[in-house]
DNA sequence: TGGCAGATTAATAAT
DNA sequence: ATTATTCCATCTGCCA
């Protein structure tokens, strides 16, 4: 059985390549891969027979690193853990559902969700009022609504590190997890913070390390876009995709430098991948410390996985005696650097470190935002959450913002206008949120926390919200298929009747837009669309009215239902005059793609460590090296460097 | 215009 | 090796 060769020429494996060389390269890669695999089979059996090695899948891939599911709970568990419920799925289907929502099974295996619009928490909070002691049951029934609080993890009180570890179900917890987590929190992360250079986050002097600035020089060829009538420009690019210019232009040095970095990326060995969360990854973020690679991933059921990739700080001088290398008898995996917390009851839609890396914000479908404040030693503080109108919530930030079951927080952007390192509330000035029903909210955390505005900017879901570095413009994009730019200062509140009006907008192929992000320099706006395109606009914030993209790359974004959608993301630092971004890909073999700001594909990163489609990707913020991170739909994270 | 059914998608855990 | 499970995605088509 040979894989279908499909068509030769410039197309291969369902993709078309702009140059023959690239196609050939792709093919070589594929062939090498196939070979490797077949060779592996032999090698595997050989190894297995000889050394009988550890357990499952000597196979390179598959990630032996990271979380491991506890198979069976030993009968005599000392922890007093409750015996595992007989069966997970059955219990869930059997009806442990949220009060107001029922799921009915239909013939074809599809589900129907019926029930009133999740009425706000039933007034009688009965048992769960404020149970201080966390019950461990959870997890298996992560979806059940702990009456009130929209089924969130708790009533909004703080979660300590150990709380968050406890909330992880027995299935994904191991001995010593709490101690390890506490050390991460009390020691490893604080050390990592120390390493973050001030230049990385201080405003004013250029956002990024290395270097410098964007060519503020040429004020830009303002894309004249507007004059071309509604018609499209030369649509002729039909041929394919990338509008590339063959001759690299002037800023060669920068270009070459970046190419060198990008070409050097690899992720071939098993150390480059680990299972970090139990479920599908919705968001990834990387701590800015230049001396560590500490990756965070948020999954569908509210788990936050933290992977300390190189075991940063492990050898610490006074490392705890109690748990040195030898202690772990059962779980040798106890020191693979993966930590798991459960901090939300719904998907973690966005994860974001603030500039100095002192705190991590998590936004979730469960309607809450939590702050992991390393600097102040406070773990998962609920910073905002949607609450109903009941009087008892009057003191909560987010009081009266609950809009029922069909509303959730889809995206978040840290507000850097007051300085990303700002004192204020825990290391960031505040944040913007966008929701499934098209709302945009802003929370100012500088004082006690205040909801600054709450406006409906779209009739449908808004997927992302992005703040322009100049602090005056935000971009929203979502199911309406239109990117819109807004003047932050002129967003009307809910109470005011005036209709919000965007400064400018752009539609893209009529389908929805997965993401729209301003580049760190602010010069460009990058969108990822369901009409299979990546589009780059330049100086869009200077245009009023209709915008047109400067560059357009065709890109298969049909991830389907079971994978998180693609959202191309910029490198947060500026390389001299060159900005780059990364995006997942449906190509086979799987890869992550790095492009530059002209839409040129610099690299397809492949390797044994990429075991599945990397739906959500990001970069390590450091500009002195290049590290690419990808999260897939089974909770695995791959890093390339 | 809005609501629903149905198709589609990829990867794992369980068999 | 095959099957069942995922089911807070999104698009199209059909109905009112």
Phi, psi for A106 (deg, rounded to 5): -115, 170
Residue A526: both structure tokens together: 């990058």
Q: Which nucleotide is nearest to A145 (CA to C1')?
A: C8
Comparing every residue's Cα with the C1' atom of nucleotide C8, the nearest one is A365
Strand B contacting residues by CB (7 Å): A 69, 106, 108, 110, 112, 459, 558-563, 586, 590, 611-613, 632-634, 636
- Residue A581 pairs in a beta bridge with A570, A595
Closest nucleotide (C1' vs CA) to A90 is C5
**What residue has token string 């940063």?**
A312
SS3 per residue for A332-370: HHHHCCEEEEECCCCCEEEEEECCCCCEEEEEECCCEEE
Closest CA to A300 of A361, A342, A338: A342
CB–CB of A423/A375 below 8 Å? no
Among residues A281, A301, A415, the alpha carbon closest in space to that of A361 is found at A415
CA A361 to chain CA mean position, Å: 12
Nucleotide closest to A615 measured between CA and C1':
B10
CA A562 → C1' B9, Å?
A: 7
The residue among A610, A553, A586, A603 whose CA lies nearest residue A25 is: A603
What are the strands of the beta sheet with A551-554, ordered from one edge?
A: A513-518, A524-529, A533-538, A551-554
Query: Residue A29 is inside which H or E element, if any?
Result: helix A20-51
Query: Where on strand C do bases come within 7 A of a protein Cβ?
Result: 5-12
Q: Which residues contact A308 (CB under 8 A, 6 or more apart)?
A: A184, A188, A292, A293, A294, A337, A338, A339
Distance CA A403, CA A243 (A): 44
d(CA A117, C1' B1) / Å: 20
Are A528 and A583 contacting, i.e. CB atoms less than 8 angstroms apart? yes
Q: Across the strands, what pairs with A40? A: none
Rounding to the nearest 10 degrees, give the CA dihedral for residues A486, A487, A490, A496.
10
Using CA atoms, how far apart are residues A583 and A585, in angstroms rounded to an integer?
7
- Measure, in angstroms, how far nucleotide B5 C1' is from residue A587 CA: 30
What distance in Å separates the CA atoms of residue A166 and residue A160, rounded to the nearest whole number?
10
What are the distances in angstroms from CA A144 to CA A97, A137, A298, A374, A581? 5, 11, 19, 30, 38
* Bases in strand B with any atom closer than 7 Å to a protein CB: 2, 5-14
**Could you give the angle at the alpha carbon of A564 between the alpha carbons of A563 and A566, nearest 5°?**
115
Give the CA-to-C1' distance from A328 to B5 in angstroms. Answer: 53
Which residue is nearest nucleotide C4, judged by alpha carbon to C1' distance?
A: A109
A567, A613 contact by CB (below 8 A): no
Hunting for tokens 């005059």 — which residue is that?
A577
| CA to C1' distance (Å), from A111 to C14 | 20
Complete DSSP assignment for A386-439: ---S-GGGTTSTTTT----TT--EEEEEE--TT-TT-STTTSS-EEEEEETTSE
Nucleotide nearest to A63 (CA to C1'): B12
For residues A549 and A529, what is the distance between their CA atoms, to the nearest angstrom?
Answer: 13
Footprint of strand C on the protein (CB under 7 A): A 89, 92-93, 109-111, 113, 151, 300, 345-347, 365-366, 405, 408, 461, 463, 479, 481, 510-512, 514, 530, 560-562, 565
pLDDT reported for residue A449: 87
Q: What pLDDT is stored for residue A51 in this prediction?
A: 32
If phi over 0 gives left and psi between -120 and 50 gives alpha, with beta otherwise, what is residue A286? beta
H-run or E-run covering A253: helix A252-263
CA of A464, C1' of C6: distance in angstroms: 24
CB distance A276 to A307 below 8 Å: yes
Half-sphere exposure of A447 (CA within 13 A, CB side): 4
Nearest protein residue by Cα to C1' of nucleotide C11: A511
Angle value at C-alpha A438, between A509 and A583, nearest 5 degrees: 50
Please report, rounded to whole angstroms, the spatial distance between the CA atom of protein residue A70 and the C1' atom of nucleotide B15.
19
Cα distance between residue A195 and residue A377, in whole Å: 18
Distance between the alpha carbon (CA) of A563 and the C1' atom of C12, Å: 20
Q: Which of A570, A618, A562, A551 is nearest to A586 (CA)?
A: A562
Instruction: Tell me which protein residue sits closest to nucleotide B12, measuring alpha carbon to C1'.
Output: A634
Report CA torsion sign: A280, A283, A287, A288.
positive
Nucleotide nearest to A367 (CA to C1'): C8
User: Residues of chain A whose pLDDT is less than 70?
Assistant: 1-63, 71-148, 199-251, 315-334, 420-428, 494-495
Nucleotide closest to residue A614 (CA–C1'): B10
Gap from A86 CA to C3 C1', Å: 21
Nearest nt to the CA of A300 via C1' is: C8
With CA atoms as reference, report the closest residue to A299 among A357, A352, A364, A361.
A364
Any idea which nucleotide's C1' is nearest the CA of A463?
A: C9
Residue closest to sugar C1' of B8 by CA: A560
Nearest nucleotide (CA of A558 to C1'): B9
Peptide bond into A361 cis (omega under 30): no
Instruction: Return the closest-CA partner of residue A171 out of A281, A325, A275.
Output: A275
Between CA A639 and C1' C12 the distance (Å) reads 37
Distance from CA(A303) to C1'(C7), angstroms, rounded: 19
- Distance measured from the CA of protein residue A405 to the C1' of nucleotide B4, in angstroms: 18
Quick count: other Cβ atoms within 10 Å of Cβ A73?
14
Straight-line distance from CA A320 to C1' B3, in Å? 60
Distance A540 CA to C15 C1' (A): 41
Instruction: Determine phi and psi for A251, rounding to 5 degrees.
Output: -70, 55
b/e per residue, A123-162, with b = 16+ CB within 10 A? Answer: eebeeeeeeeebebebbbbbbbbbbbbbbbbbbbeebbbb
Q: Which nucleotide is nearest to A512 (CA to C1')?
A: C10
Task: Find all residues with CB under 8 Å of A393, minimum gap 6, and list them.
Answer: A387, A399, A400
How many angstroms separate the CA of A530 from the C1' of C13? Answer: 19
SS3 per residue for A31-77: HHHHHHHHHHHHHHHHHHHHHCCCCCCCCCCCCCCECCCCCCCCCCC
Which two tokens mark A416?
């850097």
**Residue A626: what pLDDT?**
95
CA–CA dist A454, A469 (Å, integer): 21
């Amino acid at each position: 059985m040979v894989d279908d060769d499909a068509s030769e020429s410039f197309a291969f494996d369902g993709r078309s390549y702009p140059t023959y060389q690239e196609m050939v390269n792709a093919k070589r890669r594929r062939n090498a891969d196939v070979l490797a695999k077949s060779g592996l089979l032999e090698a595997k059996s050989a190894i297995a027979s000889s050394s009988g090695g550890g357990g499952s899948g000597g196979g390179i891939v598959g990630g032996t690193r990271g979380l491991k599911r506890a198979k069976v709970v030993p009968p005599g568990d000392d922890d007093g853990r409750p015996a595992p419920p007989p069966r997970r799925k059955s219990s869930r289907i059997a009806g442990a559902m949220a009060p107001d929502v029922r799921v009915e099974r239909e013939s074809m295996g599809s589900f129907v969700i019926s029930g009133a619009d999740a009425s706000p928490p039933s007034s009688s909070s009965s048992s769960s009022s404020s149970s201080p002691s966390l019950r461990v049951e959870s997890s298996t029934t992560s979806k059940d609504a702990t009456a009130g609080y929209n089924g969130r993890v708790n009533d909004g009180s703080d979660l300590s590190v150990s709380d968050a570890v406890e909330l992880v179900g027995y299935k994904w917890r191991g001995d010593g997890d709490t101690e390890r987590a506490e050390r991460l929190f009390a020691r490893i992360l604080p050390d990592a913070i120390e390493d973050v250079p001030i230049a990385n986050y201080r405003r004013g002097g250029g956002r990024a390390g290395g270097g410098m600035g964007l060519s503020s020089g040429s004020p830009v060829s303002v894309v004249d876009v507007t004059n071309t009538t509604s018609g499209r420009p030369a649509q002729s690019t039909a041929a394919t995709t990338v509008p590339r210019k063959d001759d690299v232009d002037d800023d060669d040095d920068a270009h070459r430098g970046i190419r060198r970095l990008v070409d050097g990326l690899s992720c071939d060995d098993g150390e480059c991948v680990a299972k970090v969360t139990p479920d599908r990854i919705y968001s990834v973020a990387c701590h800015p410390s230049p001396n560590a690679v500490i990756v965070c991933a948020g999954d569908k059921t509210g788990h936050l996985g933290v992977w300390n990739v190189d075991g940063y700080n492990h050898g610490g001088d006074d490392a705890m005696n109690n748990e040195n290398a030898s202690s772990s008898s059962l779980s040798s995996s106890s020191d693979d650097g993966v930590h798991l917390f459960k901090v939300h009851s719904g998907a973690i839609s966005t994860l974001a470190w603030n500039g100095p890396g002192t705190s991590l914000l998590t936004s979730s479908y469960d309607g809450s935002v939590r702050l992991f404040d390393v600097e102040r030693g406070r773990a998962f503080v609920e910073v905002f959450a949607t609450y109903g109108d009941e009087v008892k919530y009057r003191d909560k930030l987010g009081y009266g913002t609950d809009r029922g079951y069909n509303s959730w927080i889809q995206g978040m952007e840290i507000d850097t206008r007051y300085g990303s390192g700002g004192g204020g509330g825990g290391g960031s000035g505040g944040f913007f949120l966008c929701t499934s029903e098209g709302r945009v909210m802003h929370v100012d955390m500088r004082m006690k926390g205040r909801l600054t505005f709450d406006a409906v900017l779209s009739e449908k879901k808004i997927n992302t919200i992005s703040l322009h570095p100049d602090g005056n413009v935000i971009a929203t994009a979502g199911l309406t298929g239109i990117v819109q730019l807004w003047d932050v200062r002129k967003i009307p509140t809910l109470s005011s009747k005036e209709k919000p009006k965007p400064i400018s907008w752009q539609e893209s192929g009529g389908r929805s837009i997965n993401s729209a992000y301003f580049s760190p320099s602010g010069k460009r706006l990058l969108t990822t669309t369901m009409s299979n395109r990546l589009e780059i606009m330049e100086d869009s914030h200077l245009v009023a009215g209709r915008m047109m993209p400067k560059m357009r790359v065709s890109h298969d974004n049909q991830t389907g239902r079971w994978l998180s959608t693609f959202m191309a993301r910029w490198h947060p630092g500026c390389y001299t005059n060159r900005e780059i971004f990364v995006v997942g890909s449906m190509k086979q073999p799987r890869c992550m793609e790095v492009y530059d700001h002209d839409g040129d594909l610099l690299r397809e990163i492949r390797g044994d460590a990429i075991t599945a489609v990397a739906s959500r990707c990001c970069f390590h913020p450091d500009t002195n090296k290049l590290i690419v991170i990808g999260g897939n739909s089974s909770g695995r994270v791959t890093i390339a460097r």
